[in-house]
Amino acid sequence: MNVSQTRRLARLKRQARVRKKVRGTSERPRLSVFRSAKHIYAQIIDDTAGATLVAASTVESGIDMNNKGNVESAKVVGTAVARKALEKNINHVVFDRNGFLYQGRVQALADAAREAGLKL
C-alpha cells in the first residue's frame, strides 16, 4: 500500500466511527463536509428520508474564487450553505466532518456556518 491508500483507509475508518453516532433527522439534519485537493463540498442531509436538502460547493457558479481549495473558499461555502439552510427554515444541524480532521478548511466551513446563523 502506498501513502495515499493508507491515508484514505484511515479516513474511511474515522468516517465509519463518526457515522455510527451522527445521524440526521428531519428535525436536525446532518451537515456533511467533503474536501478534495481542489474543492470543498457541503450538504445538509435528512438521513431518515435519504434526501439532500441543501448543498453548496466551490464547483457552483455562484461562488467565484480564484483558488478554490483554500480556507477562504471554505468560509464562502460555509456561509452559502447556512444561508440556503435558513431560507428553508433549517436552523439546527448535526455536524459530520466525514472522517476529516477538524482543522483548517473543515473548521473554517463550520465556523462560517455558525457565524451565518446556523446552530451546529
On whether residue 88 sits in a domain, the answer given is yes
On whether residue 13 sits in a domain, the answer given is yes
On whether residue 120 sits in a domain, the answer given is no
Q: How many beta carbons lie within 10 A of that of residue 107, not counting itself? A: 17
Condensed to tens digits (0 to 9), the pLDDT of residues 59-90 reads 987 776 666 778 999 999 999 999 999 999 99
On whether residue 14 sits in a domain, the answer given is yes
Condensed to tens digits (0 to 9), the pLDDT of residues 23-48 reads 777 889 999 999 998 899 999 999 88
How many domains is the chain built from? 1
**Domain interval for residue 46:** 3-115
Check which CATH number belongs to the domain holding 53 and give it. Answer: 3.30.420.100
For residue 66, what is its C-alpha cell? Answer: 480564484
Q: Does residue 82 come out as left (phi exceeding 0), alpha (psi in the -120 to 50 range) or beta?
A: alpha
How far is Cα 11 from Cα 84, in angstroms, rounded to an integer?
28
Q: What percent of the chain clears pLDDT 70, i.e. is strictly above it?
A: 96
Torsion 79-83-84-88 (CA) sign: positive
Mean pLDDT of the chain: 90
Instruction: Inform me whether the pLDDT recorded for 52 exceeds 90.
Output: yes
How far is Cα 31 from Cα 12, in angstroms, rounded to an integer?
17
